[in-house]
Structures are given as structure tokens and as C-alpha cells.
Amino acid sequence: MKKTLIFAAVATLVAGSALAQSSVTIYGRLNVTAESIERNGVKTKELINNASRLGFKGTEDLGGGLKAIFTLEHRFNVDTGTVSGDFWSGDSYVGLSGGFGTVRLGRFFSEAYYATADYISMNNHDTGPSSDALYAFVNVPGKNKIGYTTPNLGGLVIHAAVMAGEGNRAAKGVDFAATYDIGNLSLGAGYEKNDLDAQQYAVRGLYTAGPFVFGAYFQKDKNVYGNNFGSRTNFRLTGAYNVGNSEFHVGYGKADDYSRVANSDAEQLMLGYNYNLSKRTKVYGYYTDVDNGRANIYGNLTQGPGPSRQRPVFRPAFFVVPSTSRAQQPSAARMVLGMQQAQPLTRHMRVDRRRADVGVAQQHLHGAQVRAMVQQVGGKGVTQGVR
């Protein structure tokens, strides 16, 4: 008990020092959409929040190349004004960074996901209904976590983390990831496992050829979507073509049946177009379709047997700050038109887009004024961002 109290005091002093003396950034994102949805003939009008957040991150130079770091991120629902999950349901951690790498303690998202599925999800940064619906997460949200990240070793970066279940076997687990960049080719791999024998591993590649970007990952998991479901494999292919202010996106994913669940396969198709009005603002449209097997494990969109399919949807939206949030449960087909604040898609953005920090921006969405604080901190940013 005494050791726990001492550690809590040290963590508080580190965070307090950062607030008093170091570089501290307030960042955020507002993402709310008005949608008209048809599910198997049933039409609804919905206002949907998509991973809106307000966060604080900072560093303090302790000398000798050593830095104290922290991040606190609050998630909330723009459509209702209520808290989304835990109050600090984004990353919330304190740590130290230096020539040895980075050590973090607290709550932070899966590096296995960042190294694989997130990395190739180029359209709207894997957020909202166009996000990857088939990827298998194990250790979400990564509470009570201690993680270590190596420095860049000639293009290779390795992440390793453990989570203390504190009596909850599902929350006790490990999270490993690695990324390697060589020229225009970037590779990644990730592995997660909890104490209930749910586990997954994935490998990923991303290649840039002039205005074209191609990505793919392959994943195999066991019991992630349900106890005793058995094992399954899934893959996703993505591509982007960037010309002038325009971005063209395509994505296709397929999940096989779980070995113990018949008709549990699914497919996802995504087509998108983005037009950059500036470095931070763009208008976009996309169509996405998730087609469930009869087991319907990727979204409760139907009652009774049969494929789950959602009809096209018109979806205007305003985004502040590019981010890597996957805030929507797996859905089905949607036609989307909207507006997003972001930067033009480049290979370097693929590497560093989770580190965008934010200044002051103001836009209008159908007469409603949205204000957000946004500031682009130079270069690659200070710490890893969050989904």
C-alpha cells in the first residue's frame, strides 16, 4: 500500500511540472453527423457523434535528453453533451522519454492496431462508418497498462506493453507491435492476447509510388468476437490516388467464418473521394457497405436470419483535427457527403498523423457555428496520439 501511494505522488508531480513549465497543448475534435439511414426497409433520421474529444498533452525537458510526458483525453458526445464512456476514455498516461526510448504508465490504445489496421486506413483515418468493421481488437481500451517503445533503430520501432487485470482476466493481457520503414515501403506487425485466451496477430504493408498509395493487412484471431468462437482469418486491401487537391480512396475487407460459428463471414467495401479546400479543411463523400453472414456478428442491423445490409445514407459532417478514432460499431452500406478539417494525404502524414496537435478554427455546418481550438505543432509532434 505504501508503494502505491508513493508512486501516485510521483506521477502527480511529473504531470504538475509539465503543466507549470513545459510545452502543453490543448487539442480537440468535434465530429457530429446528421444521417438518414435505411436498414432493411426501416428508415430513421439520426444525429450521431463520432469520437469527439478534448485533450491535453505535454512534455517537460528534464535535462540530459530526458523528458517527462503526459496525455489526458476526454471523450464526449457532441449530439447530446454527455460523457462518452469513462471521463478520460481516450489516452490517459504519464511517462518518461529519452535516448533509451519511451515508458508510459496508465491507459493507452493498442499499438498492435496502430501498426497494422490503422496504418492502411487512409480514408478519414479509420473513423466513423467507413472505418474497418472487421478488425479484431483484444485489449481495448488498454487500462492499467505499462508500455515501452524503443527509439528508432534504423527504421525499426518496437512496442511492448502489459496490462494488469486487477482481478479481471479479460483485462489482463499483452500488446506487442513493430514497424519498419525502408524507402517507400513500410511494414508492420502486431500481437495481442488476454488471460481468457482471446488473441490476434496481424501483419501489414504500405507502399507509396508517386501519387498512389497501396496498403494491405492479414489478421488471424481466436475467440475475439465471442468465447469459444474458435479461429478465423480476415484481410483488408486499401488504395489511394492523390492528384492536386483530390484524393480517391478504395478499400475492401473480407472475414472468413469462425471455425465454430457457421455463416459468420462478412465483407466490407468502401469507396471515397476527398477534396482538400486547404491544408486542414476538405469536403468528402464515401460509400461503405458491410455485408454480414447470417450469424450477424459484425452489427445488429437485422432481426432474424439473412445478410445484414444498410441502405445508402446522406451524411454531412464537420471534423476538427485528423485523428485515429474508430467510434462507430460495425454498420453496413452508407453513402456519405461531408466536410472534414485535415491535411492532404501524404506518406509522411501516414506515419505521423496521430501526432497532429491543434489552434483556432471556425466553420459553419448548415447554419450551426462550430468552434474548436487547433494548432499545428511543427514537425512530427511530441507524443503518440490516439484513435
- The residues that bridge with 26 in the sheet, in sequence order, are 56
With H, G, I as helix, E, B as strand and everything else as coil, classify residue 137. Answer: coil
Residue 386 lies in a domain: no
Q: Per-residue DSSP letters for 64-128? A: TTEEEEEEEEEEE-TTT--B-SSTT-S-EEEEEEETTEEEEEEE---HHHHHTHHHH--SGGG-G
Cα 143 from Cα 173, distance rounded (Å): 10
Instruction: Supply the pLDDT for residue 2.
Output: 43
Q: Per-residue confidence at 50, pLDDT binned at 50, 70, 90?
A: confident
Neighbouring residues of 212: CB distance < 8 A, sequence distance ≥ 6: 239, 240, 241, 242
Structural domain count of the chain: 1
Residue 385 lies in a domain: no
Residue 6 lies in a domain: yes
Residue 379 lies in a domain: no
Cα 34 from Cα 15, distance rounded (Å): 38
Q: Per-residue DSSP letters for 12-76? A: HHHHHHHHHHSEEEEEEE--EEEEEEEETTEEEEEEEE-SEEEEEEEEEEEETTEEEEEEEEEEE
Instruction: Supply the pLDDT for residue 292.
Output: 85
The tens digit of pLDDT for each residue in 150-206 reads 999 999 999 999 999 888 888 899 999 999 999 999 999 999 999 998 999 999 999
C-alpha dihedral sign at 188, 279, 287, 41: positive
Cα 263 from Cα 261, distance rounded (Å): 7
Q: Per-residue confidence at 38, pLDDT binned at 50, 70, 90?
A: low
Residue 293's domain spans which residues? 2-374
Percentages of the chain per state (helix, strand, coil), in multiples of 5: 10, 50, 40
Which cell numbers in the block locate residue 347?
Answer: 506518406
Cα 235 from Cα 248, distance rounded (Å): 21
- The residues that bridge with 159 in the sheet, in sequence order, are 149, 177
Is a pLDDT exceeding 70 seen at residue 370?
no
Residue type, 145: K
CATH number, domain at 243?
Answer: 2.40.160.10
Contact between residue 304 and residue 326 where contact means Cβ atoms under 8 Å apart: no
Cα 341 from Cα 323, distance rounded (Å): 10
What average pLDDT does this structure show over 282-311? 62
Residue 12 lies in a domain: yes
Q: Per-residue confidence at 41, pLDDT binned at 50, 70, 90?
A: low
Q: What is the largest CA-CA distance in the chain?
A: 64
Cα 229 from Cα 232, distance rounded (Å): 9
Q: Per-residue DSSP letters for 252-263? A: EEEEPPBTTBTT
Cα 83 from Cα 102, distance rounded (Å): 30
C-alpha distances (whole Å) from 200 to each of 80, 173, 197, 258 are 35, 12, 10, 13
The tens digit of pLDDT for each residue in 308-336 reads 333 333 333 333 333 333 333 333 344 44
Cα 116 from Cα 126, distance rounded (Å): 12
Cα 53 from Cα 160, distance rounded (Å): 26
The tens digit of pLDDT for each residue in 55-92 reads 999 999 999 999 999 999 999 988 899 998 889 888 99
Q: Per-residue confidence at 39, pLDDT binned at 50, 70, 90?
A: low
Residue 384 lies in a domain: no
- Average pLDDT along the chain: 75
C-alpha distances (whole Å) from 226 to each of 14, 60, 78, 136, 360 are 40, 43, 31, 11, 44
Whats the size of the chain, residue-wise? Answer: 387
